[in-house]
Amino acid sequence: MPNTRRRLLAASATLPLVALRTRPVAAADFNLKLATNLPATHPMNLRIGQAMERIKTDTGGRVEMQLFPNSQLGSDTDMLSQVRSGALEFFTLSGLILATLVPLAALNGVGFAFKDYDQVWAAMDGPVGALIRAEIEKRGLIAFENIFDNGYRQVTTSTKPVRAPEDLRGMKLRVPVSPLWTSMFRAFDSAPASINFNEVYSALQTKIVDGQENPLAVIDTAKLYEVQKFCSVTNHMWDGFWLLANRRAFERLPRDVQAVISREMSRAAKEERADIAALNSALTGKLGGSGLTFNDVDPAPFREALRKAGFYAEWRGKFGDQAWSVLEGAVGSLS
């Protein structure tokens, strides 16, 4: 054998084995889109992205899901319209914003309802979540069984810390587009402005509003600390994200595919809850180091201010006695 040929053969023996594709990669049978309004680095997007990979593997490549985080497909209002029409197959949305379509979906947002996360998950994976999901299904949407954690919400401002309800009086605060959020901060005599999340950073930066309220993981991943000075730990509400599906689009999928998607997205929600819990204990320090000045508050005066303003009576009337009793069954008397 000529020397050159021998050398080439010897060299080729050391080349890494590469998969020689003898046939084109099969295109997926189902190409599905999932949108969120949170920054790509938020644990909810990270866990959903991992679930998408598992779904592709577990369906043998038949399902290709594409994630559009950070309001890439529009505002919450836009994306809710898209998932209702089927232009978008999946969308994560707070029940309080969904309440513009499904009023009962705001039930878990009643101020100071949940005293801790044990109560939250027992309610949301139990009777309160079941009641809300049943209402959502009446509107052509499906809410997957385990809600993602947004978290307990805190007030941030660029003007002054909030130590007592009086500090909220007249304050221009951004709130999500939701009747309950507006009602709560009107009950505190502040001046709530309904703004979609994709416009919050610029509204704070240009001082259209003095402050906003969000869980720490959102304040961190959306870098709101860059345009805020104070963070008052009010824990005034617990909020979550339902993973919504367009019902027709989801039910068109083969049953085995539906089962894989449901299973892996429930796993993602539970993993994300643990991520948020871990972050919450670390973020006060990290955000403090990024320039936010933190203060704790006594929740009692805030809850009393809501009661005196008729907030609990108003929302008991809007939700109805049956739904209100389901909520109180999970968290105790609310008044």
Among 83, 218, 227, 306, binds ligand X2X (CB under 6 A): 218
Angle at 29 between CA 80 and CA 33, to 5 degrees: 20
Among 111, 40, 47, CA closest to 278: 47
Among 94, 154, 183, 228, binds ligand X2X (CB under 6 A): 94
**150 scored as a contact of ligand X2X (CB under 6 A):** yes
- What burial class does residue 14 get, using C-beta atoms within 10 Å of its C-beta: 0-12 exposed, 13-18 middle, 19+ buried? exposed
Among 274, 265, 242, CA closest to 48: 265
**272 scored as a contact of ligand X2X (CB under 6 A):** no
Among 154, 153, 151, 116, CA closest to 232: 154
Among 70, 71, 156, 214, binds ligand X2X (CB under 6 A): 214
Nearer to ligand X2X, 150 or 228 (CB): 150
**242 scored as a contact of ligand X2X (CB under 6 A):** no
**Secondary structure of 118-165 in HEC code, one letter for each residue:** HHHHHHHCCHHHHHHHHHHHCCCEEECCCCEEEEECEEEECCCCCCCH
**132 scored as a contact of ligand X2X (CB under 6 A):** no
Provide the minimum distance between the beta carbon of 243 and ligand X2X in the complex, in angstroms, as a whole number: 13
Nearer to ligand X2X, 192 or 257 (CB): 192
**197 scored as a contact of ligand X2X (CB under 6 A):** yes
Nearer to ligand X2X, 151 or 165 (CB): 151
DSSP per position, 53-73: HHHHHHTTT-EEEEEE-TTTT
Q: Compose the 285-324 pattern: x for residues touching ligand X2X by CB under 6 A, - for all others.
A: ----------------------------------------
**185 scored as a contact of ligand X2X (CB under 6 A):** no
Provide the minimum distance between the beta carbon of 17 and ligand X2X in the complex, in angstroms, as a whole number: 47
Residue 237 and residue 143 in contact, taking contact as beta carbons nearer than 8 Å: no
Identity of the residue numbered 335: S
**239 scored as a contact of ligand X2X (CB under 6 A):** yes
**37 scored as a contact of ligand X2X (CB under 6 A):** yes
Instruction: Give the integer Cα–Cα distance in Å for 84 and 62.
Output: 24
Provide the minimum distance between the beta carbon of 218 and ligand X2X in the complex, in angstroms, as a whole number: 5
Instruction: Give the integer Cα–Cα distance in Å for 269 and 273.
Output: 6
**176 scored as a contact of ligand X2X (CB under 6 A):** yes
Identity of the residue numbered 320: G
Nearer to ligand X2X, 94 or 235 (CB): 94
Nearer to ligand X2X, 121 or 197 (CB): 197
**43 scored as a contact of ligand X2X (CB under 6 A):** no
Composition of the chain by helix, strand, coil, percent to 5? 50, 15, 30
Kindly list the residues in this chain that would bind ligand X2X in the complex (CB under 6 A). Answer: 37, 94, 97, 150, 176, 197, 214, 218, 239
